[in-house]
Amino acid sequence: MEITAELVKTLREKTGVGLMDCKEALKISNGDMDKAVDHLREKGLAKAQKRAGRAAMEGTVSVYIHMGGKIATMVEVNCETDFVAKTDQFQTFAKDVAMQVTAANPTYVKREDVPEEVREKEKSIYRVQAKESGKPDKILDKIAEGKLEKFYQEVCLLEQPFIKNPDVSVKDLLEDLISKMGENILVRRFTRYQLGETVEA
């Protein structure tokens, strides 16, 4: 049986487990959703969402420098224990996130960080654009919401397609790491410096 992206997405929504683990579980269970859920539970993976509320005070600050010192990014990634913070998988993820910020230049970590006034301003612009292009009033809000999703993918780190594999988002990578490590892990903050960039007062 073909394992479609839609099937993987459904399993992920049911379990909160990362995409790669969901795909593997569906392959093993030959596309049977219930068996795939059982498989993930047996492996202890279908608990990632429950971990989200646990305190993550350990971790690392990762630095990525690009173009011979012309662009640099510092990223703080947190986890629950020093043991996980020292693993290769965690360190690699932190480095990849720093590289992502350097290349894709996001403004926020996640969509919840976007201020309400910014969100409303964007939606207002999209509504006007849709109306001026001749779209009927009844679908203006729907069009604006759709464009807002694209806006999140541009400005929110976790929503962005991963630069090394655009088929997955940074959030997908994070959820896979949470599943593998068995701890709450989060990207807390980042700072990106570009040589010659104007500093706002």
Q: Tell me the domains of the chain and their CATH numbers.
A: 5-46 (1.10.8.10), 51-110+156-194 (3.30.479.20), 115-154 (1.10.286.20)
Determine the Cα–Cα distance for residues 38 and 24; give it in Å rounded to an integer. 13
Q: Is the per-residue pLDDT at 53 higher than 60?
A: no
pLDDT band at 201 (very low <50, low <70, confident <90, very high): very low
Which of the given ranges, 41-50, 77-86, 90-99, has the highest pLDDT on average? 90-99
The reported pLDDT for the residue numbered 12 is 77
Q: Provide the residue type at 132 as one letter.
A: E
Q: How many CB atoms lie within 10 A of CB 144?
A: 20
Q: What is the mean pLDDT of residues 57-84?
A: 90
Calculate the average pLDDT of the chain. 86
- Please report, rounded to a whole number, the percentage of residues in the chain having pLDDT higher than 70: 91
52: pLDDT confidence band, cut at 50, 70 and 90? low
Mean pLDDT lowest among 20-29, 70-79, 146-155, 172-181: 20-29
Angle CA 79–115–150, to nearest 5: 85
Q: Report pTM.
A: 0.69
With a CB cutoff of 8 Å and minimum separation 6, the contacts of 77 are 59, 60, 62, 90, 93, 94, 97, 185, 186, 187, 188
